[in-house]
A = this chain, B = another copy of it.
Amino acid sequence: MSVVVQKYGGTSVGDVERIKNVANRIIRRKEAGNELVVVVSAMGKSTDELMQMAHSITDTPKVRELDMLLATGEQVSISMLSMALQSKGCDAISFTGAQIGMRTIGKHGKSRILDIDTKRIQSALDEGKVVIVAGFQGVNENDDITTLGRGGSDTSAVALAAALGCPCEIYTDVDGIYGIDPRRYPDARKLSSVSCDEMLEMASLGAGVMHARAIELGSKYGIEIRVASSMDEIPGTAIKKDMPDSERPVTGLAVDEDESIVTLNGVPYTTQTTARLFSAVAAEGINIDMISQTPQREGTVNLSFSAPTAEIPDLREVLSRYREEFPYKNSHIDENIVKLSVVGSGMRNQSGVALQFFRNFREAKIPVLMITTSDIRISCVIPKEDADKAVELVSRSFGL
Q: Which A residues form the contact surface with B (CB < 8 A)?
A: 16, 19-20, 50, 53-54, 56-58, 60-62, 64-66, 68-69, 71-72, 75-76, 78-80, 82-84, 86-87, 93-94, 96, 98-99, 143-145
Contact = CB atoms under 8 A, between A and B. Distances in A.
A83 B66 contact: yes
Nearest to A80: B57
Nearest to A50: B76
Contacts of A56: 16
Contacts of A50: 76
Nearest to A70: B79
What 9 pairs across the A-B complex have the smallest Cβ distances?
A: A58-B87, A69-B79, A68-B79, A72-B72, A65-B79, A65-B82, A57-B83, A61-B83, A16-B56
B84 A68 contact: no
A57 B94 contact: no
A144 B57 CA distance: 31
Nearest to A72: B72
A87 B69 contact: no
A54 B87 CA distance: 11
Contact of A94 (B65, B76, B94): B65
Most chain B beta-carbon contacts within 10 A, residue among A19, A57, A96, A144: A57
Given A65-B82, A66-B79, A83-B66, A57 B93 contact: no
Contacts of A65: 79, 82-83, 86, 94
Contact of A87 (B60, B80, B94): B60
A280 to B, nearest CB: 29
B84 A80 contact: no
Contact of A19 (B57, B78, B80): B57
Contact of A54 (B58, B60, B83): B83
Contacts of A143: 99
Contact of A62 (B53, B69, B83): B83
Given A68-B96, A69-B76, A72-B76, 17 more contacts: A16-B53, A16-B57, A54-B80, A58-B83, A58-B86, A61-B86, A62-B82, A64-B93, A65-B83, A66-B83, A68-B75, A68-B78, A68-B79, A71-B75, A75-B75, A96-B145, A99-B143
